[in-house]
Structure 1
Amino acid sequence: MKTIQPILIVIILLSLLAFSFPGSCGFAANPPRKNVIFMIMDGTNSDIVTLSRWYKGSALNLDKILAGGVRTYSGESAITDSAAAGSAMATGRKTRADYIGMNAKGKPVLTVLEAARLSGYGTGIVATSPVQHATPAAFTSHVLNRDDFGDIGEQQVYQELDVILGGGAAWLKPKPKNAVKNDDGMLKTKQISREDGENHIATIKSGSSYSFITKKEGLSKRNSGERLWGAFAEEDLAYDFDRKALKPDEPTLAEMTRAAIGRLSDKDKGFFLMVEGSKVDWAAHKNDPVGMISEVLSFDQAVGEALKFAEKDGNTMVIAVTDHGNSGLTLGNADTDKTYKSQPRENFIEPLKKAKYTVKGATSQLKKDRSNLKEVLKAYGLTGLSKKEYCLMDEAKSVGDLENEMVKLMAKRSNLGFSTHGHTGEDVFLYAYGPGKPAGLIENTELPQVMAGYLGFALDSGPFSDWYLDGKEFFRERGYRVLIDKRDNKNPELVVTRGDEELRFPENKNFYFRNGEAVKLKSVNVHSGGRFYIHWEE
């Protein structure tokens, strides 16, 4: 017994000494890497999720992680748009329609993605729309008008994200100098480009930190530590049902998600990734059930990629949600008022399965003389038309009118109803997986708070809560003369002077000039609504 006591004392002392050594000696464990993958299925209501599951014939990846619901209304309306909804989910603030990364008063608010980058996490966005579109824009930029794609795109270039994958190459390019014009001076074709003359593809390529790719093959090629920008279309990527035949060089949403996760998983601290399945919303605006199913299933495959990583990793929170409903799609319509009790699911699904393409994919193959109209209708699954039905198609004055007639007939054959071509205001499903995941019926503004909390920072308190300053007010209070230089109205600058010191802040950039010498900033300069907002640390 006497010999055991000294041994116990030695063991206890050694244990206490081990815990007393500083972390630099290697005894303290490193904190676990944490990741958040936030996935948004734009403009999706519950009926199309049900319809997509039946179309697929088996459970969705989303079904495994159903956790609750999300309220979607904006700061001014019971029915939100994607800008206000995206901004609410990015900043934790309800705001107005068309506002991107702004509060309801029009002041920039730091987003959860920006805060994650400032906190040392890797960051990325993935979208099937132009990356300058409302939802990805809401996480990466600050403007009062969601249509300011030029400003949004420029801010994204200077945000220094690690991964950007999607469409929108057009808004990185200046206007072509040799654009072909008609005799009246108008461009022969729609030319989407930057108004300020800057070439941001050149900007992206000029540094050694980015790899710029335009085809899906580039996703598998990489150099260690290299950032990745993939611009796979001038505007939006193809609908998934159309992609293989019509746009084979474009990647799927699942492929982009997998590539983004692969890049970001190298980050020592972890990462924040926002993934948007953008075009359920676009198809819903057209009332095209085939297009809607195409993009729900495409999104669900991307969710599968996120879950595969998260299940293996153990420290990844995955959240999937839609920002709002769209179209008011219903399983059942006026024709089923008295027959709904005897409608097997095949009555809803089989007409849809005859379509090889979405309505946009089908009509994209229409010849100018419409000599292949029957083939186009067949490509959308519309065969055996009555004379009246065919005449409605044949007499359509534009491609838009033709598409409208096609989707109406498809909805009728599939026993589906649509109440609007616009958004709807219902609560939407919340899907979540992993440590710290949200659950229950919550506000959309709670989502960024949950994600920020898991990553170890706060958006509504501390340095991130009031990040952007009104540049004019800030510098005038410190004795500077202040003006906004608009001599180049496409590239205005905030100019402040005091004595022999001059500071110039170009809009949308992450630097300023002190007496002509560039100085790096932590955030981009925002010029919106006649005001210049900056972040400044004294």
Structure 2
Amino acid sequence: MKFEKIVLTCLAITLFNCKSSQIGEKKAIAPKNVILLISDGTGLSQISSAFYFKDSSPNYARFSDIGLINTSSSREDVTDSAAGATAFACGVKTYNGAIGVADDSTTVKNLVEIVSKKNIKTGMIATSSITHATPASFFAHTFNRGSTEEIALHLTQSEVDFFAGGGLQFFNKRKDGRNLLEALKEKKFMIDTTALVDFSKIRTNQKAGFLLAADDMPPAAEGRGDFLSKATSLALQFLSKDDTGFFMMAEGSQIDWAGHQNNGPYLVSELIDFDDAIGKALDYAEKDGHTLVIVTSDHETGGFTLSAQIKKRADGTEYSDYSQVGMSFSNGGHSAALIPVFAFGPGSKEFIGVYENNDIFEKILKVTKWRGQD
């Protein structure tokens, strides 16, 4: 009899736990908004530099849900930014150089095309030209990332609601003589080619676009300043004003360029600038409670390493000073290293683990439940 009571008690506890687990699953909140922050060319060492060279605590330290992605493209072990961003934007592995097309060159729908049909607002920000590989993959479809004028035309035909970056010349100084700024205005865009503005000045506009450099934006340390953080904050205000939900992608483009140049100070300044933008996104998400923030990169660039600083003795011989961090590079190209993924907010647990880069697209659609009639 005593044994039967013990068995019954164990069964009751098991059933209660199962029921509690099911209730917990039913209560899982689907994020209303998604902010995807991409630091081009950034691996773990680049991220680590913020912990040594930033004057304040890095915003990377605010995450607890972290994963890793394999970034290889469909034909190459080492990806480029076009294939890497297409994986994020469209959920497919494709060949290096491809924008929004699959390995067989067929067009694949991107997140902007999928969610805009559900009245979800979308925004793109980059410290490069807005026609550059990463932002382009979220609104364009071309066989070659170098088709910048074609990519600019695709932006005028997309459902993007907000964008900010460089690339003005691809809209108003084109080989075909067309002025795409007029086409954007016909699509209800407020266009500014001089500076970001206060939200109050665009609150009533249906769409807003900022093209603030002829081609790429200047480096943060050479005139761009805190454009990325300000544009991120402005986009969050603009995209959330109708409370219908939004998807936003913001890229710290020039961390990659610094890696290609093997320029440590340039890299660190761009990485810290990107970390500041992460702070804006996390502050918004913490206050809002319905926003998922994902931070990752398309690939690592330069084989960047943090190591003991190399110094010289009086006799000219070198030694490693372990009390100071130095920076070094192993190459001038991309690498195949696994890339960290940081997530915060409802649905963030889905991004823990080791998976392929195109799984980020699937995971976003899964946790938001945005997949449907698309």
Does residue 211 (structure 1) correspond to residue 186 (structure 2)? The answer is no
State the match for 2:357 in structure 1: 444
State the match for 1:472 in structure 2: none
Match of 2:368 among 439, 448, 455: 455
Letter in 2 for 1:445: N
* Aligned-partner Cα distance in 2 for 1:139–1:266: 22
Q: For residue 232 of structure 2, give the secondary structure of its aligned residue in structure 1.
A: helix
Residues 447-468 of structure 1: CA distance to partner in whole angstroms, max 9, x if unpaired? 011111233233xxx654xxxx
Letter in 2 for 1:55: F
Correspondence list, 1:364-375, <5 A: none
Residues 277-297 of structure 1: CA distance to partner in whole angstroms, max 9, x if unpaired? 111001111111111111111
Q: TM-score, normalised by structure 2?
A: 0.85
Letter in 1 for 2:213: A
State the match for 1:319 in structure 2: 294
Residues 45-101 of structure 1: CA distance to partner in whole angstroms, max 9, x if unpaired? 221222232111442101211512111111111110000000011111111000000
Q: Which runs of 5+ in 2 are unaligned?
A: 1-28, 312-316
The question of whether the paired residues in 2 share the 8 Å contact of 1:333 and 1:417 is answered with no
Q: For residue 138 of structure 2, give the secondary structure of its aligned residue in structure 1.
A: helix
Q: CA deviation at 1:206?
A: 4.0
Letter in 2 for 1:196: D
Match of 2:36 among 35, 38, 42: 38
State the match for 1:53 in structure 2: 51
Q: For residue 140 of structure 1, give the secondary structure of its aligned residue in structure 2.
A: coil
Change (3 A) 1:200 1:427: same
Change (3 A) 1:328 1:33: closer
Q: For residue 49 of structure 2, give the secondary structure of its aligned residue in structure 1.
A: helix
* Aligned-partner Cα distance in 1 for 2:70–2:52: 26
Q: CA deviation at 1:210?
A: 1.4
Letter in 2 for 1:453: K
RMSD: 2.1
* Aligned-partner Cα distance in 2 for 1:416–1:279: 17
* Aligned-partner Cα distance in 1 for 2:144–2:50: 33
The question of whether the paired residues in 2 share the 8 Å contact of 1:79 and 1:424 is answered with yes
Does residue 309 (structure 1) correspond to residue 249 (structure 2)? The answer is no
Correspondence list, 1:184-263, <5 A: 194-206=174-186, 209-220=188-199, 221-243=201-223, 252-263=227-238
State the match for 2:346 in structure 1: 435
The question of whether the paired residues in 1 share the 8 Å contact of 2:112 and 2:160 is answered with no
* Aligned-partner Cα distance in 2 for 1:45–1:33: 27
Change (3 A) 1:333 1:102: farther
Identical aligned residues as a percent: 32
Letter in 2 for 1:422: G
State the match for 1:328 in structure 2: 303
Q: TM-score, normalised by structure 1?
A: 0.60
Aligned residues: 337
State the match for 1:417 in structure 2: 328
Q: For residue 309 of structure 1, give the secondary structure of its aligned residue in structure 2.
A: helix
Residues 163-210 of structure 1: CA distance to partner in whole angstroms, max 9, x if unpaired? 011111110013xxxxxxxxxxxxxxxxxxx22221101222345x21
State the match for 1:121 in structure 2: 120
The question of whether the paired residues in 2 share the 8 Å contact of 1:126 and 1:166 is answered with yes
Q: Specify which structure has the bigger relative contact order, considering alpha-carbon pairs within 8 angstroms and separated by 6 or more residues.
A: 2
Residues 303-324 of structure 1: CA distance to partner in whole angstroms, max 9, x if unpaired? 1111111111111000000110
* Aligned-partner Cα distance in 2 for 1:219–1:271: 20
* Aligned-partner Cα distance in 2 for 1:432–1:118: 26
* Aligned-partner Cα distance in 2 for 1:265–1:54: 35
* Aligned-partner Cα distance in 2 for 1:262–1:166: 17
**Which of structures 1 and 2 has the bigger CA Rg?**
1
Q: For residue 124 of structure 1, give the secondary structure of its aligned residue in structure 2.
A: strand
* Aligned-partner Cα distance in 2 for 1:289–1:335: 14
* Aligned-partner Cα distance in 1 for 2:319–2:56: 26
Which of structure 1's runs of 4+ aligned residues deviate more than 6 A?
none
Change (3 A) 1:93 1:33: closer
Q: CA deviation at 1:33?
A: 7.4
Change (3 A) 1:167 1:154: same
* Aligned-partner Cα distance in 2 for 1:106–1:219: 41
* Aligned-partner Cα distance in 1 for 2:115–2:60: 26
* Aligned-partner Cα distance in 2 for 1:52–1:334: 17
State the match for 1:4 in structure 2: none
State the match for 1:62 in structure 2: 60
Change (3 A) 1:118 1:241: same
The question of whether the paired residues in 2 share the 8 Å contact of 1:83 and 1:97 is answered with yes
Change (3 A) 1:50 1:223: closer
Letter in 2 for 1:269: T
State the match for 2:149 in structure 1: 150
Does residue 132 (structure 1) correspond to residue 45 (structure 2)? The answer is no
* Aligned-partner Cα distance in 1 for 2:308–2:153: 45
* Aligned-partner Cα distance in 1 for 2:105–2:48: 38
Q: For residue 128 of structure 2, give the secondary structure of its aligned residue in structure 1.
A: strand
* Aligned-partner Cα distance in 1 for 2:183–2:233: 26
Residues 121-179 of structure 1: CA distance to partner in whole angstroms, max 9, x if unpaired? 001101100010000001111000000001111111111311011111110013xxxxx
The question of whether the paired residues in 2 share the 8 Å contact of 1:131 and 1:167 is answered with yes
Q: CA deviation at 1:217?
A: 4.5
The question of whether the paired residues in 2 share the 8 Å contact of 1:170 and 1:235 is answered with yes
* Aligned-partner Cα distance in 1 for 2:196–2:147: 31
State the match for 2:84 in structure 1: 85
The question of whether the paired residues in 1 share the 8 Å contact of 2:99 and 2:145 is answered with yes
* Aligned-partner Cα distance in 2 for 1:171–1:210: 17
Q: CA deviation at 1:267?
A: 2.9
Letter in 2 for 1:431: F
Q: For residue 216 of structure 1, give the secondary structure of its aligned residue in structure 2.
A: coil
Q: CA deviation at 1:114?
A: 1.6
State the match for 1:344 in structure 2: 323
